[in-house]
Amino acid sequence: MLTKKIAGLLAVGLGGLFSMVGAQVVVADWQDDIGWTKLKAEMGDLLEDGTGLSVVQVEAPSGDAYLPDTSLDDFLGKTFIDGTGTNAGSSSHSTGVARNFFSRSRSIAPGIMQITGYDANDYLDRVLGHGSGADPLPQGFDVGNHSYVGNLSDKVAAQDILQRFDFIIDRDNTVMTVGVNNGSTKKTPHLLAHSYNAIAVGRLSGDHSRGATTFYGVGRYKPDIVAGDSATSFTAPRVAGAAAILKQAAVGTNGTHAVAIRSLLFAGATKDEFSDWNRTSSQPIDEVFGFGELNIYNSYHILEAGEFNGEINPFGNSVGRVGWDLGSANGVDDLFYEFEVNEANPVVDLSVALTWNIKVIDSDDSTDIFNASTGLANLDLALLDPSGNVLDESVSTVSNSEHIFLNELGPGLYRLRVSSDNAAEFGLAWRMTSVPEPTGGFCFVCMSVVILCHRKKRND
């Protein structure tokens, strides 16, 4: 495992090491496993590929190198910007990550053409402003990937970095993927897996760090989602590529919002690959596999089903049996999403994901000083049966996501209920299937969707 001291940050007691998380081995059939092959067969040339998006790739340096090898045919015609500006050359690790993220041969998002690369030390120190204490620099990327980890003895410094990272994700509406560490005996790394607003990615095999966060919000389980490859360095950019497809496909709708993308990815994840996947009402996701395995086929079709309004009236108009919402909780009124299950189309699996951001507030007007405080709304998710009783619920008091996954729903009118103790914007996504989820290549059979009058229109 290659390591490098965090050169720019030792002066403030950051000590410790950044680690690149693994050497790449090409994994066959991963596109089948995440449903992309089936989706591509359906959509053909109409399937989005990340065209028009601007992305960022942040890398722990190997020696001084942190950029991919831009001379390769895989990256022909793409524009690479050296954000750090040292022109230090390429690393094999960065090249492997880039291949999974946006290359022509190994990525599901080869249409990504503009990439900015940073040395992780420079990114945390200068771009996030940790070294200077100034505000994080404006970014504006659509999607970003961080395939490195760090564990810091100075928790105050680590929390400052994490607050700054969550701040830019929320401010700039960027979907950020981060790798957890490799090895099932490892604990959740401080950087950047302890982030609230990023997506922490593990491995399909389960051979990655796991367990609860230990500071900056204790008790949140990571990773959030898993994908197949030889190391988390290379599963994280696979999820980033999927996020890029969704973000391009959502243009003109509220689905471009980062919290909506997270909910789409999480609701689309599959579980049948894991014999012991488990959640409880207070622990929304499995402690090893999170929401499950990435499945772009599911997530894409949830997006395409359309956005639906939540209703304050619990007996409002029905939503589709597949769909999503970028909603706003006011901290007082519950929001309801009613759907019907009939005898002709019994539901085998119901997957619902609710996500929202932690809010990081800078109370100093000067761009030279970043004085952060955080606020996290507590949102709850419940499934009400035809009689209005709570059939299942997800009510974590520490997480910024909730999840319901349930097998078999009988006929009747059901309602999803979103509750909040404070105002918050959230992403909600749901899907129902009529056949079990097979391991590996997943065949999604969507039930007939009842689309009534409260489906939202695309934005102008």
Question: How far apart (Å, rounded) are the C-alpha atoms in residues 245 and 170?
Answer: 20
> How open is the CA angle 345-351-353, to the nearest 5 degrees?
145
- Three-state SS at 31: helix
pLDDT band at 206 (very low <50, low <70, confident <90, very high): very high
pLDDT band at 408 (very low <50, low <70, confident <90, very high): confident
* Closest to 396 in 3D by CA, of 388, 404, 385: 404
Q: What is the pLDDT of residues 250-291, one digit of tens each?
A: 999 999 999 999 999 999 999 999 999 999 999 999 999 999
| Whether the predicted pLDDT of 317 surpasses 90 | no
DSSP secondary structure letter of residue 254: G
Angle formed by the axes of helices 92-102 and 232-249, to 10°? 30
What does 97-125 look like in DSSP terms, one character per residue?
A: HHHHHH-TTT-S-TT--EEEEEEHHHIII
User: Looking at residues 133-157, what average pLDDT do you find?
Assistant: 96
43 CB-near residues (< 8 Å, 6+ apart): none
447 CB-near residues (< 8 Å, 6+ apart): 321, 322, 345, 347, 432, 433, 434
pLDDT band at 27 (very low <50, low <70, confident <90, very high): low
Q: Which helix (H) or strand (E) holds 356?
A: strand 347-356
Distance of CA 381 to the CA centre of its chain: 19
Q: How much is the pLDDT for 314?
A: 85
For residue 61 the two structure tokens come to 């340096």
Going along 122-184, which residue ranges are E strands? 143-146, 148-150, 175-179
* Closest to 345 in 3D by CA, of 437, 436, 444, 433: 433
Asked if the peptide bond before residue 237 counts as cis, ω within 30 degrees of 0, the response is: no
280 CB-near residues (< 8 Å, 6+ apart): none
Q: How much is the pLDDT for 315?
A: 82
Taking only Cα atoms into account, the Rg of the chain, rounded to an integer number of angstroms, comes to: 21
User: Looking at residues 176-205, what average pLDDT do you find?
Assistant: 97
- Three-state SS at 241: helix
Q: What is the pLDDT of residues 411-435, one digit of tens each?
A: 899 999 999 999 999 999 999 987 5
Domains of the chain, CATH where assigned:
3-249 (3.40.50.200), 309-433 (2.60.120.380)
Q: Which residue has the higher pLDDT, 317 or 218?
A: 218
Q: Residue 167: exposed, middle, or buried by beta-carbon count in 10 A (0-12, 13-18, 19+)?
A: buried
CB of 141 closer than 8 Å to CB of 56: yes
pLDDT band at 181 (very low <50, low <70, confident <90, very high): very high
Alpha carbon separation from 338 to 71, 106, 348, 397, 457 (Å, rounded)? 53, 41, 18, 25, 19
CB of 185 closer than 8 Å to CB of 158: no
